[in-house]
Amino acid sequence: MHKILVIEDEQRVAQLIKTGLCELGFDAAVAYDGDMGLRLFKSGGFSLVVSDVILPGMNGFELCREIRKLNPDVPVLMLTALGSTDDKLDGFDAGADDYMVKPFDFRELAARINILLKRRTISGGQVEVSSEVRYADLLIDKKTSKVSRGGTDIKLSPKEYKLLLYMAENADRIITRDEISEKVWDTHFDTGTNFIDVYINYLRKKVDRDFDVKLIHTRTGMGFIFTDKP
């Protein structure tokens, strides 16, 4: 049984989410502020976190960063009344995997939770793969999530790192925006927004700007390609 932590200061909303999750067969725990949520998370065993952004004490963004320090893999879904692009970018930069704007339909919340849990599930019989990705003078250490190019460390947000890793692991082929939205975000991600292009530009500034050889290229009408070839 998956154990889900719900952090929501509106007690009625928190209890409705908890009740719905329990009816679906999940084990749900509730916290009403960020500090309490972090204490509960540290107790361990949670498969996923659902957190509001606006919380008493530690806000949802700060909480997400603390959770990421403790566990970089557990999915975090953020709930908030803040729906602007900048607010969503802040959430993703803090390490969130998904973002829902209030009010929301519980059925959609449940669907997104199931998607995140399926993505996290790993077969126990997987063959061990390399912990490093190397391309040209770029090095990605998957164990530490550290990135360097030409020996120079590059600091990335969690979403920037995830996007760069996917592109580097799929180098020398065109990657469409739909593929990025499915693999780096989720299939329900709104590809009508400019989120993907925003993050591509973030990566270009950090990965390419100070280097003669550019690795991230746009293919007009098709998508993007990660390559050191002109």
**CATH code of 175's domain:** 1.10.10.10
Asked if residue 145 has pLDDT above 60, the reply is yes
Predicted local distance difference test score (pLDDT) of residue 189: 53
DSSP state of 145: T
Asked if residue 52 has pLDDT above 80, the reply is yes
CA distance linking residue 168 with residue 179, whole number of Å:
14
Residue 164: how many other CB atoms lie within 10 Å: 26
Could you tell me if 7 and 116 lie in one domain?
yes
Closest CA relative to residue 52, chosen from 1, 3, 2, 87: 87
In a domain, 125, yes or no: no
Could you tell me if 61 and 20 lie in one domain?
yes
CA distance linking residue 175 with residue 170, whole number of Å:
8
Helix (H, G, I), strand (E, B) or coil at 99: strand
In a domain, 219, yes or no: yes
Predicted local distance difference test score (pLDDT) of residue 126: 39
Could you tell me if 115 and 146 lie in one domain?
no
Closest CA relative to residue 164, chosen from 190, 139, 182, 128: 139
Most trustworthy range by pLDDT among 11-15, 85-89, 98-102, 127-131 = 11-15
pLDDT in tens, 174-230: 999 888 888 887 655 554 558 889 999 999 999 999 999 999 999 998 999 999 987
Predicted local distance difference test score (pLDDT) of residue 186: 63
In a domain, 127, yes or no: no
Residue 116: how many other CB atoms lie within 10 Å: 20
Q: Mean pLDDT across the stretch 83-92?
A: 72
**Mean pLDDT score of the chain:** 86
In a domain, 139, yes or no: yes
Q: What is the dihedral of CA 42, 45, 47, 50, to 10 degrees?
A: -40
Q: Give the domain-ending residue among 90, 120, 150.
A: 120
For residue 37, the surrounding DSSP H or E stretch is helix 34-42
Asked if residue 50 has pLDDT above 80, the reply is yes
pTM listed for this prediction: 0.61
Which range marks the domain in which residue 89 is found? 3-120
Predicted local distance difference test score (pLDDT) of residue 10: 92
Let me know: does 181 contact 197? Beta carbons within 8 Å: no
Tokens of 158: 């969690």
Q: Mean pLDDT across the stretch 82-107?
A: 81
Predicted local distance difference test score (pLDDT) of residue 80: 83
Helix (H, G, I), strand (E, B) or coil at 184: coil
Overall number of domains in the chain: 2
Tokens of 79: 């709930």
